[in-house]
Structures are given as structure tokens and as C-alpha cells.
Amino acid sequence: MKKIFENKETFKKAYTEALKKQFNVSVENASITEKYTILAKLTNENLEKSYNETSEYVRENNLKKAIYFSMEFLMGRLVTNNLHNSGVYHIVREAFTDLNIDINEIEERESDAGLGNGGLGRLAACFLDSGASLGLPLYGNSIRYKKGFFVQEIVNNRQVEHQDPWLDEPFVWETKKENESLDIEFFGEFKNGKLVDSITVKAVPYDVKVVGDQNGVVTDLRLWSTEPSEKVKNQNKDYLEMVEKISESLYPDDSTDDGKLLRLEQQYLFSAAGIRNAIREHKSLGRDIKELDKYYVFQINDTHPTLIIPELIRILMDEEGFTYDEAFILTSKTAAFTNHTILAEALEKWNVNLFKKLLPRIYEIIVLMNEKFRELIVDDGRFTNNQINEMLLINDDMVKMANICIYGSFSVNGVAALHTDILKNIVMKDFNKLYPTKFNNKTNGITHRRWLMHINKELVNLLDRKIGTDWHKDLSLIKEFEKYVNDIKTQEEVFEVKKIKKQQLADRIKKLENIDLDVNSIFDIQVKRLHEYKRQLMNIMHIIYVYLRLKKDSKFKKDYYPHSFIFGAKSAPSYYMAKRIIELINATAKIINNDEDTNKLLKVVFVENYNVTYAEYIMTAADLSEQISTASKEASGTGNMKFMLNGALTIGTMDGANVEIAELAGIENEFIFGLSSKEVNEIYDTKSYKPLETYNSDLRLQEVFNFIETIDKDKDHFKDIKDNLLYNDYFLVMKDFDAYVKAHERANEEYKNQERWRKKAIINIANAGFFTSDRTINEYNRDIWKLKRITFGK
């Protein structure tokens, strides 16, 4: 395996020369930006060879490719990851020491590639890392948004959104491939087998290399940008604006569809471009279009790329002379679908009129699919009219994306055992009856390279000393660490590592938020998108309860172990209730942090602009990981896995992958509480929950509400939040409150027995091996993609 930099001397030489050549500066006089830029450029250039070799290998060996279509890729910074995965991080570090450059300062210079909202986009990024590291021809396909996910600022306790103009400075890691541009058609009319009077937009690809872990494999993420097409004679203002807008910004919402027309334009753009790109490559290699399924599999990450299905059918029928049935069969052999949510409001639907106007031919194809599908389910004979209507691809003047995906693909997977169970038995029950072998589970994962090896070298050192380094390549071997569970020395070392990581986070929080934290306190952390189902509200209500109790109950105060509660969360700009909850958390934090009476025992921090880079500091520093969604609502979660792998204990509900965490580590090593998903669904079915009664019978809730009335001069300032709880409480915050308080009491007691706590931390680390995305990707490959490995020199 070739190193991109031979040794520190050759690297130093290349680096100084490049600085001189590009910026005409010496190392001593170069700015941080210049130093970063040259490091990134050299790294990227040196990856070129492996990139070309990988492409060549895949081509010459006729390997099948999996294309991962995702509207989001939350990549974070690339420099550290690419240096580590190339196996040259230590060379650069040593060279920089000689040159008197602080490598951390250079790494900090890079801004996050924030092309995603949260978990779904981060999952896509982890998958690419695992694919390349396992030597699989897995490639990403998405949009090159000029503006990333918004930058959050907190002003007067409230979220303010700023644009993230991440491409205003050069993004060193991308390569524009102008000559591989494609024309994509919107609007117009389909007449006599042709689309006429349409508007053409040019899709231009930019490739970002994805580096495998020291195996010489470099794949890529292809990001499509939009430009005016030469075909369009009259490039008026409206046209230019439309072209500009399509790749302008990522819609900052992961659960509802708004900004409708533009969003559909974006979805079609990257779906159609990705499919045509694959077909062009397929044909250029002299292969028969009928064999497309032998060379490509298209993974549809949530419903945003659904249109690859009708688009492929369209191409096969209109351009390749297939019949509908032939086109459908081939298409459904290439497409596989991953579902990510059961939240009703997040199941994508498009108004028929809007759809027809923007994509007339695609709409006709979907109508055709819908008719064929109707025949199929009517003939089946097992479904009622009601069930049939629910399953149709078009119903009530709406195009239903998930239904298109299920019908048009050969595999449908959920993202955690419980989630898949709910899909099969509740949400998509009828589809599962129709296609019993299509549904399967692929529990999510995280790349342990970024989420342990690159961010927690202290823990890596400890693990290496105890169990060797084989676990780097196969995380299941981290299980070996469990044999140290009763070893006092190891327990102390785990504790020391945690303390160092807490200090590093505390330093960052001091610098960025100007709040002092006591590293001897319990770091209790909830970081994730702000959503009512994730129940940050329950967390802050519990904190208020603790605060009030500390003020009036001296025995409680004496027994209370100091806590630092840390939040990080962005709300969709248009999500009213989520923004109100952010305000409540920040307003409460101010009061609590300034109360001399209690602030040695209780601190609350809301970190501004939670993103991948912030997460890299946060995940390693938690004692307690808050995973408290209403059971059945969180499909999987991946933050929960990052925390566990770095030695945090989970306080959580039996939801998403928490269920598997509790199973693997033992339920006695987490703090599991609250309603089960079955109980939650019973409550919804029977409408048996009366929030007002719960409120009236629980003095603690009343006191919390009273406190909330004192936060602002206007006692009704947070009335909307309170009323929502009293008269609706759909996410069962008050219903689970008592169980949540008790779970915290258990955690508080347990932490005082440090030996027991440290054992549990070791057990959590040792049993987190299952959650590497290498395992997830191996399962995707075994059951769905069936790709052959790239094996250089074997």
C-alpha cells in the first residue's frame, strides 16, 4: 500500500515549495488559511493516483457499483479524516512539529461541509467512509449546495439563522468535471413521444474523493451543481434565477416538505443526473442496457431520490424501446429503498397539479405505474378498498413517494430492529403482506474511524495498550476490552480519559459560550435536531424540577451530585414550537447559571451552532447520553451510538437503536425508562391519555409550570408551550415525566459508586462494536447490493 507522503522530510520539502509557489510565502510568514490550503491541496493531489487506480480497477474488472442517492451528506471536515485514512497523519504531524506549525490550529481552519440537516445526512457520510474502507465500489450522489445548512446564533435566547456560504472560499477537496455535464429537462408538454417546450438546465458534476482506511481505495461523492444550458437561447432573468436556485441551498428541514416546487426541482435534478450518468457510463463500456442491474444498484436514502424510479422507466421506454413491463422489471431490479421515519408529516407527498406541471412525462409514468399497481393489488384479492387507496401511488390528488419506492424497488429496509418491526407490522403492514420478502432491517451505524479513532486518541491509546490494535480494522474485536471490567487500574484509566475529554470540551465551551463547567460534575448531554418527538422539553422540565428542589430541599441538595446539562440543537426555521423550546432552554439556563445558591451543583449550557465539528468534541465528553424520544418515534438514532462507543451510559427510552444498545450492553448498564412503543401506540389508538389529569395529579409538574411563568416579565410568555402540554401533549412528555425523574435519580445514585459506574462505561465501550457502519455496510452488501471487493495486489 502506497503512502501519499513518503516520509516527513519529503513532505516538508513539498509543503514549503508549494507554499512558496502558490502564495509566495515562507512557512514562518504564511497565514493559517494559507497553511491549511496547501496541506489540503497536497493531500488531495496525492490521492489522485489511488483515485485513478480505483476507478480503473472497477472498470477493468467490470465491478458492479452501488450508487447511494441522498439529498444530504453531512461530511464535516475532511482534512483530519483524509490524512488518517491515508495513513500519513503522523508524518504530517511530525513534519509540522519541525516546521513549528500547530496541526490542531490548521485542522480547525477548515469549515464543515454541512450539506445535511442531521442524522440522515451524517449516516450517508459514515456509509461512504465504510464503503471505501471495506473496498466496496460504493459512490455517493447528491447536490452541490452553494449554501450549507444554516449557521445558528442565539440572540436573546432565540435561534437566529445565518447563511452558511461555505463555498465562498475555495473548497479544495472538489474537482469540477465540466465535460461530464448533463442536460435535465423541466416543465413542457409530452406530445407524440417527445417532451416539447421544456426548460433545460445543465447539471455539472463536482467530485469529492472518499478515502478508504489505508487500503489504497478512493471512491467519490458526486455533487451536481446547476448552470445555464447552452441549449437555451433566451437566457432571461427568470431562467437564470431558476438555474441558480436549484443548487443554491439545502432546505433546512428534515421532517416536512415546504418550498415545494423548488424542492421537487432539486430532487429531480440529482436523481435524473445520477441515473443518466450511470447509463452513460454503462453504455460507454460497451454493455447492454438490458444488463444494467448486473452493474448498478441504486440505494434510495429516504424518499427524496424517489424519482430515479420513474426516470429510469422513462428512459428505458422513451429512449431504449422497452415496453412498460420490461422497463418496470429492470428498474425494480436496480432500485432499493431505505425508509427513515414513521412520522406521518414526514412521509413525502406531492400535489398532483404541481407535479404534472414541473415533470409532465414523469407524472405520466407514475400514472402508468399506479394503474399497473392497482391491477396488482385488486387482483390479489386480500385488500379492502380502504387499504387499496392507502397503498396506491396516487391518491387524493397526491403523489405518494414512499409508495412509489416500495412498489418500484426490490428491497425496503428500516434502520433499526424496532423501526423495521413497526414498518412491517403497523405502518406498512399491507405492503408487507403483499411483498413479504422485500422488507428487511439494516440497523444504522457510525464510522468508528471518525467517531472514535480520530476524535479520542486518549481512549484509542488505552484500548491499544490493553487489547492490541486489531480492533481498528474490525470493531467487533473491541469486545476484548470487557475482560478488564473488574480491573481497578483499567477502570481508573477509563475515568482519566473521560476527564481529559471533559476538560477539552469544557475549554471549548468556555471559549465559545463563555460558561465555566466543573469537570468533576456529571456531563449529561442531549445533542440532536430540535424536534418535539426528541423531547428536549422533557429534559429542560426535569432540570427545572431539580433546580426548584435544590432550592427548597436540603437533604436532596446534600445528596445531589453536581451536574452539567449540555444541549445542542438546531430547529427548522419554520418550526414554531421547536424554536419556542430553544428559547425556554436558554432562558432557564441563564437563571440557573446565575444562581449562586445552586450553581456549584447545577449548570445548563446550550451550545450554539451544533454541527459535526462540535459533535466531535461532545461525543467523547459525556457521562450520560440523553436519548429520550417518545417510544416508536426515533427510527434509529446514531448520536446514541457515538456516545456509547466513547463510554457514556444511556438514559433513554426503548426506542430506535436504544433497544439494541440495552440488549448488547445489558439493560442494567443503562438507565432505561418510560412507555414502550406498544404502550405509546395503545394510548394513541384508545385516546386514553388525559394530559390535564396527569398535570393535576403531579405537584412537580405544577411547580415547573409555575416557575416557567416567572421566567419572563410577562407570565404568559411561554403559554403556548404550557397549553400544548396541557391540552395535547402528543409526545407524552408529562406522561413519561415521573419515570424520567426516577431514571435520573438512579443515575445520580449510581454515579456516587464510581467503581460501578466505570464498570458500566467499560461494558458500554466493549459492546459498541456492533454499531460500526462497517457492519451496517457489510449487511447492505450481503443482502442487497452484492458488490465484489476491490483487492489491490491480491
Ligand X SMILES: *Cc1c(COP(=O)(O)O)cnc(C)c1O
Binding flag, residue 633, ligand X (CB under 6 A): no
As measured in angstroms, the least distance from the Cβ of 548 to ligand X is: 28
Site string for ligand X, 585-624 (x = CB under 6 A): --------------------------xx--x---------
As measured in angstroms, the least distance from the Cβ of 337 to ligand X is: 21
Q: Which residues within the stretch 534-593 sit at the binding site for ligand X (CB under 6 A)?
A: none
Q: Which residue's C-beta sits nearest to ligand X?
A: 639
Name the segment binding ligand X (CB under 6 A); options: 202-210, 286-294, 585-593, 638-646.
Answer: 638-646
Site string for ligand X, 514-533 (x = CB under 6 A): --------------xx----
Residue (of 554, 608, 598) closest to 160 by Cα position: 608
Catalytic residue at 340?
yes
Cα Rg of the chain, angstroms: 27
Backbone angles phi, psi at 374, to 5 degrees: -60, -45
In the chain, the amino acid numbered 561 is Y
Strand partners, 209: 220
Binding flag, residue 637, ligand X (CB under 6 A): yes
Q: Which is nearer to ligand X, 369 or 569 (CB)?
A: 569
Catalytic residue at 280?
no
Binding flag, residue 50, ligand X (CB under 6 A): no
- Indicate the SS3 state at residue 445: coil
Residue (of 293, 297, 140, 155) closest to 224 by Cα position: 140
- Indicate the DSSP class of residue 243: H
- Indicate the DSSP class of residue 248: T
Cell of 480: 476484548
CA distance 140 to 548: 50
CA distance 477 to 466: 12
Q: Which residues within the stretch 112-171 sit at the binding site for ligand X (CB under 6 A)?
A: 118-119, 122
Q: Which is nearer to ligand X, 637 or 691 (CB)?
A: 637
Residue (of 150, 144, 76) closest to 530 by Cα position: 150
Bridging pattern class, strands 349-351 and 174-176: unpaired
Catalytic residue at 722?
no
Q: Which residues within the stretch 291-350 sit at the binding site for ligand X (CB under 6 A)?
A: none
Name the segment binding ligand X (CB under 6 A); options: 89-97, 539-547, 631-639, 756-764.
Answer: 631-639
Q: Which residues of 504-528 are buried (b: 16+ CB within 10 A; e: fewer)?
A: bbbebbeeebebebbbebbbbbbbb
As measured in angstroms, the least distance from the Cβ of 535 to ligand X is: 12
In the numeric block, the cell 463500456 is attached to 285
Q: Which is nearer to ligand X, 122 or 759 (CB)?
A: 122
Residue 705 burial (C-beta neighbours within 10 Å; 0-12, 13-18, 19+): middle
Name the segment binding ligand X (CB under 6 A); options: 579-587, 637-645, 719-727, 729-737.
Answer: 637-645
Q: Which is nearer to ligand X, 297 or 416 (CB)?
A: 416
As measured in angstroms, the least distance from the Cβ of 446 to ligand X is: 7
Cell of 103: 496541526
Name the segment binding ligand X (CB under 6 A); options: 63-71, 456-464, 634-642, 704-712.
Answer: 634-642
Backbone angles phi, psi at 390, to 5 degrees: -65, -30
Catalytic residue at 372?
no
In the chain, the amino acid numbered 650 is T
Catalytic residue at 642?
yes
As measured in angstroms, the least distance from the Cβ of 611 to ligand X is: 5
As measured in angstroms, the least distance from the Cβ of 79 to ligand X is: 17
Contact with ligand X (CB under 6 A): which of 638, 646, 650, 748?
Answer: 638
Q: Which is nearer to ligand X, 19 or 615 (CB)?
A: 615
Around Cβ 539, how many Cβ atoms within 10 Å? 23
Query: Cβ(111)–Cβ(171) under 8 Å?
Result: no
Per rule CB under 6 A, count of chain residues that contact ligand X: 12
Catalytic residue at 260?
no
Contacting positions for ligand X (CB under 6 A):
118-119, 122, 528-529, 611-612, 615, 637-639, 642
Residues with catalytic function: 340, 528-529, 534, 638, 642
